Amino acid sequence: MKKHHKRLLIRECIVLVILCSACNFLFAQKLDGRYSGDYGEIIISGDTLLFKGHKSSHFPPWWELDTIAKCSVTKINKYLLEINSVTDDLYDTWSIEQSHEDRSDDSIKINFVIPYNLGDLEIGVYTGPHFEEFKNNNYEKSVTIPKCDDFGFYIMPTRNLIAYGFVVTYGRIILSSSELSSEDFAIEQGKNRIDVKIPTLDDYFFVRYFLYHEYVYVKGDELHWRNEIYKKKK
């Protein structure tokens, strides 16, 4: 008798797991699709969410961007989604190269090899235990610092590039080296030229949404996000 009850219990558990999986699958299938709103379009496919902006001649040139955000989606429950920006491209493609060039002094020149050309950038490099800071001159993409053992840096646009918001920016306002590495970058012995290469820092880097622990409310065929409603297309 005990074995019979045990088999029934196992069978019920298996059925419950199958039903839960089916419900999750149907929920995912129901969410997948395109949702249109006043400021753009949300596309959900599986665990990925894209936010695409409307292109218009009335907007500044830095708004002429197709995909404003690419996010991972975590389903909290059937009414709530958590979204976070996918930043793998940034973390997987940056690099630092160190070399030596003949110069009359012992300074170190740090070049930032980035495709950003939309406007001026403020670049700061800090060194030493007291975080002494040196900035780029005339918004050049290089900073010269005295001889030292390590360094960190930050890069930010000199103007606030408002991305699809009329009051505040939803994008990044700064990129810090601490986001790329938990420690400052050590300078090799005898090296006085450093090339910091960040190929993903293009004209739209500071315009794209940078979303962290954002929540989207699901209401029928609508997504409610940032006080806007996006309706699912038929």
pLDDT at 3 over 80: no
Is the domain of 110 the same as that of 166?
A: yes
User: Does residue 204 lie in a domain region?
Assistant: no
Q: Are 222 and 25 in contact (CB under 8 A)?
A: no
Q: Which residues neighbour 196 within 8 Å (Cβ) at sequence distance 6 or greater?
A: 94, 96, 110, 111, 112, 113, 153
Is the domain of 136 the same as that of 153?
A: yes
User: Does residue 205 lie in a domain region?
Assistant: no
Is the domain of 25 the same as that of 43?
A: no
| pLDDT tens column, 99-119 | 999 988 999 999 999 999 988
Is the domain of 223 the same as that of 186?
A: no
Separation of alpha carbons 172 and 165, rounded Å:
13
Q: Give the residue, 90 or 55, on which the prediction is more confident.
A: 90
Is the domain of 105 the same as that of 145?
A: yes
User: Does residue 40 lie in a domain region?
Assistant: yes
Give the structural domain span for 18.
1-31
Q: Look at residue 170 in the predicted model and tell me its pLDDT.
A: 65
Separation of alpha carbons 70 and 226, rounded Å:
16
Question: CA-CA distances (angstroms) from residue 203 to 40, 63, 104, 165, 219?
Answer: 20, 11, 36, 18, 36
160 φ/ψ angles, rounded to the nearest 5 degrees:
-80, 110
CATH classification at residue 169: 2.60.40
Quote the tokens at residue 87: 């930043």
Alpha-helical (H) ranges within the chain are 2-31, 88-93, 177-180
Lowest mean pLDDT among 82-86, 158-162, 223-227: 158-162
